[in-house]
A and B are shown apart, each in its own frame.
Chain A
Amino acid sequence: MATPLTERLKADGTAVSIGEYEASGGYRGLEKARAMSGHEVLDLVKASGLRGRGGAGFPTGMKWSFVPAKDDGGPRYFVVNADEKEPGTMKDRILLEGDPHQIVEGIAIASRAIGAEHAFIYIRGEYLASAAALERAIAEATERGLVGRPEEGRGPEIEIHLSSGRYLCGEETGLLNALEGKRPNPRNKPPFPQVSGLWGRPTVVNNVETVANLPHILREGPEWFKALSPGSDAGTKLYGVSGWVAKPGVWEMPMGATVREILEGKAGGMAEGRVLRGFLPGGASTDFLGPDKLDLRMDFDSVGKAGSRLGTGTMVVLDDKTCPVGMVLSLERFFSRESCGWCTPCREGLPWIVRILEALEEGRGEEGDLERLEDLSRKLAPGRTFCALAPGAVEPLQSALKLFREDFEAHLRRKGCPWK
């Protein structure tokens, strides 16, 4: 089983050095990219079928293709989204800390494709070890003339921006505002960042894991990349599991590995004495799926058809000794705290949801509360708010209300949480 993204990671957790990286074929993808035109690089990535690993699964080559082909002489930017604050998500950290050159090479390749001479890595303020590893990798690569000299065709100049933190900094237009020194509030789309992004210039924002795939796609080719997975979604995927399982962790597997292969094969099954009740397939803002979905393939289309989203591919597992209502309350408290307050449904709706869930947990629930939660879920649905925070926030709520209906009702009937 090929694991191109993680096979160089070292057991002691230290970062792969430039020497080690080059010895295993590193920077050869970039060499190839430099021998091609930007457009050819873009076509190759398009042909590979790579889809964005930041949560939405948008085809990467297509995303790049919206950057105006005509060079007007002004700057273009490539930005790596290393904000990773989606609850339950810890996959990008593994790549950043362990193999920073893979990211640097990916940045150089993407920049070549879209004609960017400047790149930013927007990284969350808590990832100090990741930032240090990247800083060193950029210095090493610059010293070797691999990046950092756009005027000689050896770009881009790469700058690390250590974030001061907020969930919305990960939303790509919020991120651009934060980079410009503003509040990380989302922007209107259109115009899309590829046309008018950072300081109004064409900009592409990609997730860390997306970028990490590029060196391998360039080096080995699109056909090799497609053959890595059994299904229609190409490549490998970093899957993670947290919650009461035997061995929580992160593993690279073929895209489309089944829930069972991840949960039982890698995470060692449930922790002793715990039974699986459900899981969020890809971070906090995805719909719950039940234990009947063990043989579901974890790729974008399959999880979508099952009524949820692959999201970040990092599962959060709910067991029988944990209260589903309490779990949803924890999720909604997070989203409510992180709302920027711009749209009424999100600003008012999320705290309302939190108050109802608190009441249920504390035995103050009232007749009609579950219907109110359902109604609020609909009022925060896609299309009713400015950004995807609110729709994401109600995905676990609306699905929990269906999947764990009896537990919600028990909170009402028994005037409190049966788990307390």
Chain B
Amino acid sequence: MLSELERTAIRAAVERLGDRRAAAAETLAMLQRERGWVSDEALAEAAMVLGMPREELETVATAFELVFRRRVGRHVIMACDSVSCWIKGADSIVALIKERLGIGFGETSADGEFTLLPAGCLGLCEQAPAMTLDGLPYGRLDAKTLDEIFARIGEDKHGDSAH
């Protein structure tokens, strides 16, 4: 079920843009931000609030790579596989990540912690090879920097559970 806040946000977007369709993009981005992914149920309800057929909103949702239509892990890694990163060894970086998490592209680890996705050029070419983790950029990746990044996530998790 959409929260009252989410419904209000959708109506506000329609009002501000004066156009239901234009609000579709904003609605999907908002749901993605709030929920981490957009479920079938959320999409159907959002379409109702927008006053457009579910299929029409679906058409928009599936066109964009940062709208996730399947449940993802607590952390999402998007590893660049485009040309500048490929030259700098993106394949081996991806292999390291896959080995460490025990998952392939498009998969989520069994503990629900990580999802790994391929990304087209992230615009971090001078720092290749690069990836984003939960939307934040990381460049000049190698075995060592990856270790450090994963260690930091481990610590954060530790911190969380102390609450």
Query: Do the two shown chains form a genuine complex with each other?
Result: yes
Write the residues of chain A forming the contact surface with B, with a CB cutoff of 8 angstroms.
84-90, 92-93, 124-129, 161-167, 178-185, 199, 240-244, 248-250, 280, 284, 314, 316-319, 322, 326-327, 330-331, 333-334, 337-338
Chain A contacts of B123 at CB under 8 A?
84-85, 89-90, 92-93, 124, 126-127
A90 contacts which of B21, B22, B126, B135 (Cβ < 8 Å)? B126
Q: Given contacts A85-B120, A89-B121, are A184 and B84 in contact (CB under 8 A)?
A: no
Candidates A179, A250, A334; contact of B121 at CB < 8 Å? A334
A250 touches B126 (CB 8 A): yes
Q: Is B25 an interface residue (CB 8 A)?
A: yes
Report the separation of the CA atoms of residues A85 and B19 in the bound assembly, to the nearest whole angstrom: 28
Judge whether A126 and B122 touch: CB under 8 Å.
yes
Give complex CA distance A415, B99 in Å: 29
Check A166 against B124 for contact (C-beta < 8 Å): no
A242-B84, A316-B125, A330-B83 given; name 19 further pairs at CB < 8 Å: A85-B123, A87-B120, A88-B125, A125-B66, A128-B136, A161-B25, A163-B64, A166-B65, A181-B23, A181-B26, A183-B63, A184-B63, A242-B126, A242-B128, A243-B84, A316-B87, A322-B87, A333-B81, A334-B121
Q: Which residues of B contact A (CB under 8 A)?
A: 19-26, 28-29, 32, 59-60, 63-67, 78, 81-84, 86-88, 120-128, 132, 135-137
Q: List 21 A-B contacts (CB under 8 A).
A: A86-B121, A88-B82, A88-B121, A89-B121, A90-B126, A161-B25, A164-B28, A164-B66, A165-B64, A166-B63, A181-B26, A182-B60, A183-B60, A183-B63, A240-B125, A244-B87, A248-B127, A319-B87, A327-B87, A330-B86, A338-B120
Q: Which of B78, B127, B128 has the most CB of A within 10 A?
A: B128
> Do A248 and B121 touch across chains, with their CB atoms under 8 A apart?
no
Quote the shortest CB–CB distance from A75 to chain B (angstroms): 11
Q: Do B25 and A164 touch across chains, with their CB atoms under 8 A apart?
A: yes
* CB nearest to A129 among chain B residues: B137
In the complex, what distance in Å separates the CA atom of A85 from the CA atom of B123? 6
The docked-state distance in angstroms from the alpha carbon of A334 to that of B120 is 6
Partner of A318, one of B81, B87, B128: B87
The answer to whether B29 and A164 touch across the interface, beta carbons within 8 angstroms, is: yes
Tell me whether chain A's interface is mostly helix, strand or loop, or mixed.
Answer: mixed
- Residue of B84, B124, B127 with most chain A CB atoms under a 10 A cut-off: B84
The 9 nearest A-B residue pairs measured at CB = A164-B64, A242-B84, A242-B125, A87-B121, A330-B86, A87-B82, A183-B63, A181-B24, A248-B126
Q: How far does the alpha carbon of A240 sit from the alpha carbon of B121 in the complex, in Å? A: 15
Say which residue of A165, A180, A249 sits within 8 Å of B126 (CB atoms): A249
A180 and B84 within 8 A (CB): no
How far, in angstroms, from A330 to B88 measured CA to CA in the complex? Answer: 12
Check if B120 sits within 8 Å of A178, measured CB to CB: no
A178 surroundings in chain B (CB, below 8 A): 25
When distances are taken between beta carbons in the complex, the residues of chain A under 8 Å from B81 are 330, 333-334
Kindly state the separation between the CA atoms of A152 and B88 in the bound complex, as whole angstroms: 52
B44 to chain A, nearest CB (A): 17
Complexed CA–CA distance, A185 and B29 (Å) = 18
Alpha-carbon gap, A164 to B32, bound state (A): 9
Most B-side CB within 10 Å, residue of A164, A179, A199: A164
Task: Please tell me if the beta carbons of B60 and A334 are within 8 angstroms of each other in the complex.
Answer: no
- CB neighbours of A124 from chain B (8 A): 123
Contacting pair B137 A166 (CB below 8 A) = no
- The residue among A84, A88, A333, A337 with the most chain B CB atoms within 10 A of its own CB is A88
